């Protein structure tokens, strides 16, 4: 059971849960707006409209948790998962199209991601204005601005040159298109001006909100990918941001044998109903059918297998490509998340996937993943596993990467070794190479939404795989959706589309 103060959604009471039970609360709609949003409760409600966009739900809404949104667009085009069309007629080819780098400006997942991000920007702009006009606490204004920077960062990472505005008093057809670098500079400027105004509080109401540590992790991510986004690497700046987080008292969650865990190890608590605070920096609070949903395990398992384990049918969707599965040593505790061979429910998953789209994969082809083994309340529409947007393991590996790229691989070795040791593996025999770090990031962070950035940054994204040849350079960014071009004639489509 989850016990924490959270932001929930839309019309629900979106500040501390305990404040929703007092029927004698003040009637806030009688207050002038500047008084209401300047109060602690009003400020939280202004922020709530922004945070409500982050949990994943149907219709492509959210960062992670449901079909055909940001997570799928960024996670089905890489090497660690795909949903094949099945030769039984299940699943369309839209996920296979992503894996084969054949997406188009008219695709639903492209449009959903764009629309979600711009709804989020609009809500963030609104929150900033309400909070500034009401002279709210500086930390609340800073939080709204950091949230806006987060969404703009996701936009330029996916789409390159994008419409940019900070004042909602403008029609869609008049929003100017800014260069990727211009928006990058805005994101960095906003983060640097506001992160230190955020509380350093961990957990409680900041379990799923940007605090100082989440802000610096976001800044590190922005700097980590600066070479891709602007052409100018920012490794020293990234390292400095990582080092702030390294001083924040986080640690790797222990990986101890645990008979009560479905996967036999406490490591998997990192992906359960409540993400542990020792390692979790920013998480998405999830309670199925109330706040978002986590579909990743039920979407992977075939119906009879999921029924045997959970009492409801699975969707027979996401699988692990065999080349990615081969990256894991048998001694690696992280390999326990993958299911292959005979399973309960008279199921037998095979390693090979014969076809992604024509005629499609057999019903039981492909390795399955239960990293997010269903926890909390659950049903056939998903489970209540919270989703870690940022974990300290990621920061450790970013720190290691910066050191290698700056010519100090010796400083990176104990960091990479710490991740490997927790996983039950031995230390590296020598100082890590960039390929070592790329592979370790893949093993540690699979299915957490970071792989596309990593593959592009390490020049791996365009390489061929068993289902496609070498991709063209323009595939490193997605197209602006046709619907957006129709709504704003001033926008210019990305090259290649």
**DSSP codes, 383-422:** E---EEEEEHHHHHHHHHHHHHHTT-HHHHHHHHHHHHHH
| pLDDT value at 4 more than 50 | no
For 163, half-sphere exposure in the C-beta direction (CA atoms, 13 angstrom radius) is: 25
CATH number of 17-282+389-478, picked from 3.90.550.10, 2.60.120.10, 1.25.40.390, 3.90.1150.10: 1.25.40.390
What sign results for the dihedral spanned by CA atoms 77, 83, 87, 91? negative
Tokens, residue 475: 């595939």
pLDDT value, residue 34: 74
Q: Tell me the pairing of strands 368-369 and 338-339.
A: antiparallel
| CA nearest to 233, candidates 453, 404, 457 | 457
Contact yes or no for 130/148 (Cβ under 8 A): no
pLDDT-based confidence at residue 29 (cuts at 50, 70, 90): low
* Angle formed at CA 383 by CA 348 and CA 16, multiple of 5 degrees: 165
The residue behind tokens 């326990």 is 336
The 10s digit of each residue's pLDDT in 37-90 is: 999 999 999 999 999 999 999 999 999 988 999 999 999 999 999 999 999 999
Domain map of the chain by residue range? 17-282+389-478, 283-388
pLDDT value, residue 214: 98
pLDDT value, residue 15: 30
- DSSP strand E in 226-377: where? 280-284, 338-339, 341-343, 347-349, 368-369
Q: What is the pTM of this model?
A: 0.94
Three-state secondary-structure class, residue 423: coil
The 10s digit of each residue's pLDDT in 188-225 is: 999 999 999 999 999 888 999 999 999 999 999 999 99
- DSSP, residue by residue, 77-145: SSSS-B-PPBTTS-S-SHHHHHHTT---TT-HHHHHHHHHHHHHHHHHHHHHHHHHHTT--HHHHHHHH
| pLDDT value at 404 more than 80 | yes
| pLDDT value at 469 more than 70 | yes
pLDDT value, residue 340: 98
Q: Is the peptide bond before 359 cis (omega within 30 degrees of 0)?
A: yes
pLDDT value, residue 31: 59
Three-state secondary-structure class, residue 341: strand
Tokens, residue 20: 């929703």
| pLDDT value at 14 more than 70 | no
Contact yes or no for 473/463 (Cβ under 8 A): no
- Which residues does 177 contact at the CB level (< 8 Å), separation at least 6? 161, 162, 163, 164, 490, 491, 492
């Amino acid at each position: 059971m989850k016990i924490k103060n959270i932001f929930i959604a839309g019309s629900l009471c979106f500040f501390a849960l305990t404040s929703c039970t007092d029927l004698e609360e003040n009637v806030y709609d009688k207050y002038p707006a500047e008084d209401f949003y300047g109060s602690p409760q009003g400020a939280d409600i202004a922020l709530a409209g922004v945070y409500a966009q982050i949990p994943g739900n149907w219709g492509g809404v959210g960062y992670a948790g449901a079909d055909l949104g940001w997570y799928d667009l960024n996670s089905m085009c890489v090497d660690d998962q795909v949903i094949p069309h099945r030769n039984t007629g299940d699943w369309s080819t839209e996920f296979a199209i992503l894996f084969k780098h054949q997406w188009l400006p008219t695709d639903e997942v492209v449009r959903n991601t764009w629309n979600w991000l711009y709804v989020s920007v609009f809500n963030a702009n609104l929150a900033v204005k309400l909070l500034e006009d009401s002279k709210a606490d500086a930390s609340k204004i800073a939080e709204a601005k950091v949230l806006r920077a987060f969404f703009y960062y996701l936009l330029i990472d996916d789409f390159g040159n994008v419409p940019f505005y900070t004042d909602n008093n403008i029609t869609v057809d008049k929003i100017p298109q800014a260069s990727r670098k211009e928006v990058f500079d805005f994101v960095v400027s906003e983060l640097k001006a506001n992160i230190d105004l955020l509380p350093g509080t961990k957990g409680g109401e900041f379990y799923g909100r940007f605090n100082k540590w989440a802000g610096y992790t976001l800044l590190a991510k922005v700097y980590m990918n600066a070479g891709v986004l602007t052409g100018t690497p920012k490794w020293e700046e990234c390292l400095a941001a990582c080092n702030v987080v390294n001083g924040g008292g986080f640690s790797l969650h222990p990986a101890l044998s645990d008979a009560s865990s479905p996967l036999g190890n406490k490591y998997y608590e990192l992906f359960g109903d409540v993400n542990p605070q020792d390692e979790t920096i920013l998480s998405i609070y999830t309670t199925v059918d109330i706040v978002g949903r986590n579909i990743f395990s039920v979407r992977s398992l075939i119906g009879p297998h999921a029924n045997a384990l959970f009492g409801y049918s699975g969707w027979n969707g996401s699988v692990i490509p065999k080349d990615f599965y081969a990256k894991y040593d048998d001694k690696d505790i992280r390999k326990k998340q993958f299911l292959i061979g005979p399973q309960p429910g008279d199921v037998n998953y095979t390693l090979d996937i014969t076809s992604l789209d024509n005629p499609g994969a057999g019903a039981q082809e492909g390795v399955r993943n239960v990293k997010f083994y269903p926890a909390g309340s659950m049903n056939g529409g998903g489970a209540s596993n919270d989703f870690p947007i940022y974990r300290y393991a990621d920061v450790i590996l970013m720190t290691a990467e910066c050191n290698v790229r700056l010519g100090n691989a010796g400083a990176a070795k104990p960091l990479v070794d710490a991740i490997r040791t927790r996983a039950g593996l031995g230390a590296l025999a020598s100082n890590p190479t960039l390929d070592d770090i790329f592979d370790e990031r893949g093993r540690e962070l699979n299915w957490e939404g970071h792989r596309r950035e990593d593959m592009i940054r390490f020049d791996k994204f365009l390489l061929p795989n068993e289902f496609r040849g070498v991709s063209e350079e323009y595939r490193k960014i997605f197209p602006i959706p046709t619907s957006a071009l129709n709504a704003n004639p001033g926008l210019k489509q990305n090259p290649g589309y």
